[in-house]
Amino acid sequence: QNINVCVQCPNLEGILLRMIPNNERLQPTGAKAHSQLCQAWPDYQKPADTRTLAAKFSLKDLLRVGQVDSELNAFLSLLGLSNV
């Protein structure tokens, strides 16, 4: 049986940055994702707990990123969460 591998690109901070409205098309590098996220979300502190993330983001934010990221959209589709 095959497995599907999900790779965070570039990292968690990069995905969180892209989940902020109007940032979904950004392609941050791993080295700069944290600083860019802190600029866009000044209250961000690493590591963010689940309550902080749930208060900031919704599934709609993740789906919006999936609309411009085909690999993320494919993964969301496997989970039954895709827009398509």
Asked whether the beta carbons of 23 and 13 are under 8 A apart, the reply is: no
pLDDT of residue 7: 79
Within a 13 Å sphere around the CA of 61, how many CA atoms are in the beta-carbon half? 15
Higher-confidence residue: 28 or 1?
28
- CA dihedral sign of residues 56, 84, 75, 71: negative
The predicted model scores a pTM of 0.89
Whether 53 contacts 30, CB under 8 Å: no
Is the per-residue pLDDT at 29 higher than 90? yes
Tens-digit pLDDT profile for residues 55-71:
999 999 999 999 999 98
Single-letter code of the amino acid located at 77: S
